[in-house]
Structure 1
Amino acid sequence: MAVAESAGLGPVLAFALVGVCGVGAQWLAWRLRLPAIVIMLVAGLIAGPATGLLNPSRDFGDLLSPLIALAVAVILFEGGFSLDFHRLGDAKTGVRRLVFIGAPLGWFLSVLALVWGAGLSWESAAVFGGIMVVTGPTVIAPLLRTAKLARRPARLLQWEAIVNDPIGALAAVLAFEVVFTLRSNLPMGEAVGHLALGIGFAAAIGGVIGWGIARSFSRGWVPEFMKVPVLFATLLGTFAVTDHVLHESGLLAVTVMGLVIGNADLPSYEELRRFKEHATVLLVSGVFILLAANIEIDQLAALDWHALLFVILVVLVARPLTVLISLIGTALPRNERLLIAFTGPRGVVLVAVAGLFGQRLAEIGVADGLRIGPLAFVLVLVTVIVHGFTLAPLARKLGLANADKPGLLIVGGSRFTTALAETLNKAEVPVLITDPNHAHLIRPRANGLKTFYGDILGEAAEDKVELMAYSTLLAATDNDAYNTLVATDLAPELGRDKVWQVPRQKDDRERHALPTQLGGRRFGEGRTLENWEKLLSEGWRFRVTRITEEYTLTQWREKRPKAKPVMVVAKSGDLRFVIDPAEMKVEPGGRLISLLPPEAFEEETTQKAKAGEKPSGQPGPAARIP
């Protein structure tokens, strides 16, 4: 250890350690179902101040600041790229209020909290306060999914985070430009001109380059396999050149560039979006580890009651006042306003941008600029932990939480999916059936099932289908190609292990086999939708069986040898379809949903009738609809 501390790891080993810590922390957080930012903070502090193994200033030397600056540039580009004005135009009034009124008001109140609570100078407070407008889009999404919020408050919180991400970055850039200009001791007129020139130059360069990229992509001047490399190289080049020509203009330029490209309706939008998401995950985790490891023990020890007062003012005063004032005059009910007012987790983006600007402020002579980094860590850590543990209980208390049980989203209305949905409803599992063909929804609607008419991949579905309420998806339309498209498109959002698809008609033929990355998981021993429908037409019926310590899966198999298992509802509520009945596992407390042949169903119905019970899975109105 002494050798490592004296000589250092060197850039290559240090870079590898940062990658392992960052990605490993995110994976561990996923496994433990904890906020990733908390695990990353612990990993960075252990690798840095606690053990001295990683010292970014020592190991990277003069490369540290440029590395962080380039990473932040990509992060801010991603923020601008995510802001789609077309979708924002359809957002509710509350979202616009939280952006156009809440952002500047939150900036002002955050500055006051920093000055009066943390004791920062007005210069540092103005820059850091702008960054604090960001509420953490990478943090709010998993929190919303865990809490299962109702549609409107969830959408308001999510859109506020997405839109305010680039706005907060722009506010910090502008505030820093003002501080930098005032510190240059230029005459007022010249200082204003310098500031206007910097903003105009950065915005113009970012806009022109963004327009050029969008035009070249849409006209086919760049081949598909080159679009991501060209975009990434152009992004880095734009930042480097504009920042070299005019100091600190690069961040603003790449943010504007992202805004232009993100609103250009490019046909390759999905590929670009996934690239920037993957790049952002890597860079955000890397920057966070670097900043955490670079914190000195003395800086952490210097945090006193002022830091605690600052966090309290932000969480209990600045955030609630910002939201409640912004939403005055809207039709939002009181419980939704209160939930939004007391939900404002900050994320990794805030720490990354704050760490960069804290160093820049210190470089131009703002003495307390280095305090911004530790304060950002404290704010992020406290808000993520507080909101992570309180959002779900608060939502339930205010009556704004969806069903706690994971639900199933079925794409495709048919006799099979209607009967399955009816059975799941009786098992108290939330189900929604969607179909772009209105006629296919007649049967499920007649049975009182929840439906959505439209394309699940369309913009209307984003507005009206609450995907967060459904943990699992089944693509089961009569169009195999559409099923594959839906499963492939939604797999990254829901998780590939949660996306299922009825087997295709020619799945077993080598000539028609698809790559493994396309489509969802198959189930039911290769039975197609046509096969399932045929079984139902022959009189087979769904049955729910609870597996217990007394009535085991082995006993069920012995009693129902001809039954065809379809899916398992675990004791925890997790849903999974049965791929191979021979390898099927059902823990005690779980429920098995299967299809029984007519004779077995009649036998069970008779037994239930004699016992005075109502058999589950009994055919309802669906069986009477042609």
Structure 2
Amino acid sequence: MHTDPILVTSAVAVVAGIISQAIARRLRLPAILPLLLSGMLLGPSVLGVIDPASLGEGLRVLIGFAVAIILFEGGLSLKADSFRNAGATIRNLVTFGALLTWGVSALIARWLFPELGWGLSLLFGSLIIVTGPTVIQPLLASVRPRQRVSDVLRGEAILVDPVGALYAVLVLEYLVEAESIGKGAVFGEFGLRLALGGGLGLLAAGFLYLLMKRRSVLARDLHNLAVVAIAIGAYALSELLISESGVLTVTIAGFILGWLHPPGIEKVEEFKSQLTTMMVSIIFVLLSANVALAGLVGLGWNGLWLVLAVIFIVRPLVIFVSTLGGDLTLAERLFLAWIAPRGIIAAAVSSLFALILSQGGEPLGELVLYLVFAVVVGTVLVQAPTARWVAARLGVLEGDRNGFLFVGGNTIARALARALDRAGYAVQIVDRSQWQVDRARAEGLHARCADALDPLEIENFDLFGIGHLCAATPSDGVNRLAVQLYAREFGRENVRAIKLESSPPDDLSAGDPMYAFGSRLVWEDFLERLNAGQEIRSAEVDEDLAVDEIGRLLPGAVALLAIDEHERVRFLEDDDPLTVGEKLFYLTPGSDVESTGDSP
């Protein structure tokens, strides 16, 4: 039987990558571990099913496109709020923090592996500057540290990738071309890369913004594909003009587009996230297929000391220097010092550069590749499983999650969200309708256009501070699915659906959701009351009473929620008691009743 190595390699990489992702999610492991193991197992050194060399120059192009998509998606996901919360720390980490990582790592590599010389040691140092959003984002979603700690790690992971890649390019060109074109020309070309990447990134973001603002230009189902095509096109154009400038172009384009926030950007983020998952899976399987376990073991004790030095010396030094004079606590700085797993960008760029070095006759290029992979594996193995334990010990886990996620952006959801927002609680609305999302944003609410029932989209939600769900759509089926899905995240006692007239009664033994507000208020009645001008208000309870007594004190009012002095939230059922000191949220028709501060 005739076998086509290109076909087999490509198909097996896709299948193995997706299976590895599924295993990682099922076992709650960093995806990079099963991807690495499957690639090494299927590669030439073990089973020989995958042969990346059969792809020839196509592998190099594929790596470039994958890096472009990953960095563009990372730029999109980096929000301006991150800079408001931790801008100075992020700036320090991606500037002289990156330089410090580069220099100290190179010194240690030169000491432990003197055969590298200064040139390849500096190349190694530049390659491990990057951390990478593909590893950091899932880790943060699992650990849930404080908001500003999360902002620092996310911002650093996204912005330091192009910085590290550009430093690596500078060192590589110095090694390969300095003798032929001169040292001055190498540094001059580096400056041109910065200028081109910044300028072309701005132009690409501006063009994409105008395209998405004018929805009539393209059919709706082509928007996501058009954004991907333009991002890849900008990357390719930048690479054609000056090699290795594309990484900066796509990162800046993604960040600026995310900051401008054109209509439909959430759908683009969703699509790009799925595409990134696919690209990471395929590329990492292909890259790790070139890595033999014997090669990693062959690094010996010095390889282990190098990995430990990166974890216990380089990272803590960088964090404590970069946060000097800042407002981060010692515990927060210690946690940041512990977390810096390397990922796909480090692996991809090192593989690409090892190929270039080998073509240029440098026999030690493969040693650099194995050292980088050792750092990737070591940092993920050590830091990912221990991150939550370390965060708990240091006391930097996210505080009480008292905020609310509303599935549905309709009148009912917005009214509840406005009342809670005014009372100081974090609220977030998710709806598939851009029109409903725009209405919520116009009212000052945080809203996202997405499918709240899609697990892939849920991974992209920023749920910091959110610990309660209210499913408020006019579909009982959607509400039930939302309650069942988010009960895993928030706990069954913190998820509710608003009952419809057509909804069946609660059947807890069958796993059906408990409806918010009992039988006192169904969806249709709630909507009718709001359309008639009734409002949701809050007041402090100053005497013990039952929920059904509220109507006696506030004629026509319906009790909705109660929050005690410990910030615990209760969706009020028909016969629930109210105690002194609780904050009560209620729906009332009275226009003469003052809002917050009244006492029923």
Looking at structure 2, the residues matched to 528 and 97 of structure 1 have their Cα atoms a distance apart, in angstroms, of 55
The equivalent position to 1:394 in structure 2, one of 390, 394, 413, is: 390
The equivalent position to 1:115 in structure 2, one of 104, 110, 121, is: 110
Aligned length: 499
Counterpart of 2:69 in structure 1 is 74
Q: Report the residue type matching 1:207 in the other structure.
A: L
Matches within 5 A, 1:194-205: 194-205=189-200
Deviation at 1:265, TM superposition (A): 2.4
Confirm or deny: 8 A CA contact 1:434 1:456 kept in the other structure: no
Counterpart of 1:338 in structure 2 is 334
Structure 1 residues 314 and 256 mapped into 2: Cα distance closer, same or farther (>3 Å)? same
Is 1:65 paired with 2:60? yes
Looking at structure 1, the residues matched to 78 and 108 of structure 2 have their Cα atoms a distance apart, in angstroms, of 28
3-state SS of paired residue (1:474): strand
Looking at structure 1, the residues matched to 502 and 169 of structure 2 have their Cα atoms a distance apart, in angstroms, of 54
Q: Which moved more, 1:102-111 or 1:20-29?
A: 102-111
Is 1:305 paired with 2:301? yes
Confirm or deny: 8 A CA contact 2:123 2:168 kept in the other structure: yes
Confirm or deny: 8 A CA contact 2:398 2:465 kept in the other structure: yes
C-alpha deviations, 1:323-372, integer Å up to 9, x for none? Answer: 01111222322222222112222222321222222222333344322223
Structure 1 residues 364 and 260 mapped into 2: Cα distance closer, same or farther (>3 Å)? farther
Matches within 5 A, 1:175-194: 175-183=171-179, 185-194=180-189
Is 1:320 paired with 2:335? no
Structure 1 residues 235 and 32 mapped into 2: Cα distance closer, same or farther (>3 Å)? same
Structure 1 residues 142 and 298 mapped into 2: Cα distance closer, same or farther (>3 Å)? closer
Deviation at 1:321, TM superposition (A): 0.4
Deviation at 1:55, TM superposition (A): 3.0
Confirm or deny: 8 A CA contact 1:202 1:249 kept in the other structure: yes
Is 1:237 paired with 2:228? no
Confirm or deny: 8 A CA contact 2:401 2:464 kept in the other structure: no
Confirm or deny: 8 A CA contact 1:410 1:434 kept in the other structure: no
Is 1:357 paired with 2:353? yes
Deviation at 1:296, TM superposition (A): 3.8
Matches within 5 A, 1:99-498: 99-119=94-114, 120-183=116-179, 185-220=180-215, 221-296=217-292, 299-402=295-398, 409-411=403-405, 435-437=417-419, 441=423, 452=425, 467-468=463-464, 473-475=468-470
Q: Report the residue type matching 1:452 in the other structure.
A: Y
Report the TM-score, using the length of structure 2 for normalisation. Answer: 0.71
C-alpha deviations, 1:247-275, integer Å up to 9, x for none? Answer: 33444433343344333322221111112
Looking at structure 2, the residues matched to 143 and 439 of structure 1 have their Cα atoms a distance apart, in angstroms, of 28
C-alpha deviations, 1:532-571, integer Å up to 9, x for none? Answer: 999x75479xxxxxxxxxxxxxxxxxxxxxxxxxxxxxxx
Confirm or deny: 8 A CA contact 1:121 1:368 kept in the other structure: no
Confirm or deny: 8 A CA contact 1:110 1:318 kept in the other structure: yes
Structure 1 residues 331 and 57 mapped into 2: Cα distance closer, same or farther (>3 Å)? closer
Q: Over aligned residue pairs, what C-alpha RMSD do you find?
A: 4.3
Looking at structure 2, the residues matched to 409 and 10 of structure 1 have their Cα atoms a distance apart, in angstroms, of 53
Matches within 5 A, 1:19-34: 19-34=14-29
Structure 1 residues 9 and 507 mapped into 2: Cα distance closer, same or farther (>3 Å)? farther
Q: Which moved more, 1:211-220 or 1:90-99?
A: 90-99
Confirm or deny: 8 A CA contact 2:110 2:117 kept in the other structure: yes
Counterpart of 1:13 in structure 2 is 8
Structure 1 residues 149 and 208 mapped into 2: Cα distance closer, same or farther (>3 Å)? closer
Deviation at 1:411, TM superposition (A): 4.9
Structure 1 residues 496 and 283 mapped into 2: Cα distance closer, same or farther (>3 Å)? farther
Deviation at 1:151, TM superposition (A): 3.5
Looking at structure 1, the residues matched to 487 and 265 of structure 2 have their Cα atoms a distance apart, in angstroms, of 16
Structure 1 residues 101 and 263 mapped into 2: Cα distance closer, same or farther (>3 Å)? same
C-alpha deviations, 1:414-470, integer Å up to 9, x for none? Answer: xxxxxxxxxxxxxxxxxxx983226985xxxxxxxxx616666779979xx993565
Counterpart of 2:556 in structure 1 is none
Deviation at 1:34, TM superposition (A): 1.7
C-alpha deviations, 1:390-430, integer Å up to 9, x for none? Answer: 32332233233357xx9675458xxxxxxxxxxxxxxxxxx
Deviation at 1:47, TM superposition (A): 1.3
Structure 1 residues 153 and 85 mapped into 2: Cα distance closer, same or farther (>3 Å)? closer
C-alpha deviations, 1:506-528, integer Å up to 9, x for none? Answer: 7779xxxxxxxxxxx98347977
The equivalent position to 1:530 in structure 2, one of 521, 536, 546, is: 521
Deviation at 1:313, TM superposition (A): 1.5
Looking at structure 2, the residues matched to 452 and 140 of structure 1 have their Cα atoms a distance apart, in angstroms, of 27
Deviation at 1:286, TM superposition (A): 0.9
Looking at structure 2, the residues matched to 355 and 148 of structure 1 have their Cα atoms a distance apart, in angstroms, of 32
3-state SS of paired residue (2:254): helix
Confirm or deny: 8 A CA contact 1:327 1:337 kept in the other structure: yes
Structure 1 residues 260 and 596 mapped into 2: Cα distance closer, same or farther (>3 Å)? closer
Looking at structure 2, the residues matched to 360 and 141 of structure 1 have their Cα atoms a distance apart, in angstroms, of 31
Structure 1 residues 147 and 58 mapped into 2: Cα distance closer, same or farther (>3 Å)? closer
The equivalent position to 1:39 in structure 2, one of 6, 11, 34, is: 34
Confirm or deny: 8 A CA contact 1:411 1:434 kept in the other structure: no
Looking at structure 2, the residues matched to 144 and 230 of structure 1 have their Cα atoms a distance apart, in angstroms, of 30
Looking at structure 1, the residues matched to 9 and 210 of structure 2 have their Cα atoms a distance apart, in angstroms, of 40
Looking at structure 2, the residues matched to 507 and 168 of structure 1 have their Cα atoms a distance apart, in angstroms, of 58
C-alpha deviations, 1:456-496, integer Å up to 9, x for none? Answer: 6779979xx993565x641267x969xx99x99xx999979
Counterpart of 2:579 in structure 1 is 620
Looking at structure 2, the residues matched to 109 and 256 of structure 1 have their Cα atoms a distance apart, in angstroms, of 28
Looking at structure 1, the residues matched to 79 and 401 of structure 2 have their Cα atoms a distance apart, in angstroms, of 29
3-state SS of paired residue (1:42): helix
Q: Report the residue type matching 2:108 in the other structure.
A: A
Structure 1 residues 262 and 365 mapped into 2: Cα distance closer, same or farther (>3 Å)? farther
Deviation at 1:197, TM superposition (A): 4.1
* Overall identity of the aligned pairs, in %: 28
Confirm or deny: 8 A CA contact 1:358 1:373 kept in the other structure: yes
Deviation at 1:213, TM superposition (A): 2.4
Deviation at 1:619, TM superposition (A): 3.8
Structure 1 residues 161 and 190 mapped into 2: Cα distance closer, same or farther (>3 Å)? closer
Confirm or deny: 8 A CA contact 2:429 2:446 kept in the other structure: yes
Q: Report the residue type matching 1:321 in the other structure.
A: L
Deviation at 1:284, TM superposition (A): 0.8
Looking at structure 1, the residues matched to 163 and 445 of structure 2 have their Cα atoms a distance apart, in angstroms, of 26
Structure 1 residues 332 and 364 mapped into 2: Cα distance closer, same or farther (>3 Å)? same
Looking at structure 2, the residues matched to 137 and 623 of structure 1 have their Cα atoms a distance apart, in angstroms, of 40
The equivalent position to 2:50 in structure 1, one of 39, 55, 63, is: 55
Deviation at 1:28, TM superposition (A): 0.8
Confirm or deny: 8 A CA contact 1:284 1:352 kept in the other structure: no
Looking at structure 1, the residues matched to 197 and 498 of structure 2 have their Cα atoms a distance apart, in angstroms, of 52
3-state SS of paired residue (1:530): coil
Q: Report the residue type matching 1:74 in the other structure.
A: I
Looking at structure 2, the residues matched to 44 and 59 of structure 1 have their Cα atoms a distance apart, in angstroms, of 15
C-alpha deviations, 1:65-93, integer Å up to 9, x for none? Answer: 22222222222333333344564244354
Q: Report the residue type matching 2:387 in the other structure.
A: L
3-state SS of paired residue (1:475): strand
Structure 1 residues 155 and 189 mapped into 2: Cα distance closer, same or farther (>3 Å)? closer
C-alpha deviations, 1:202-224, integer Å up to 9, x for none? Answer: 54444333322222322343343
Looking at structure 2, the residues matched to 347 and 192 of structure 1 have their Cα atoms a distance apart, in angstroms, of 28
Looking at structure 1, the residues matched to 220 and 130 of structure 2 have their Cα atoms a distance apart, in angstroms, of 33
Confirm or deny: 8 A CA contact 1:355 1:372 kept in the other structure: no
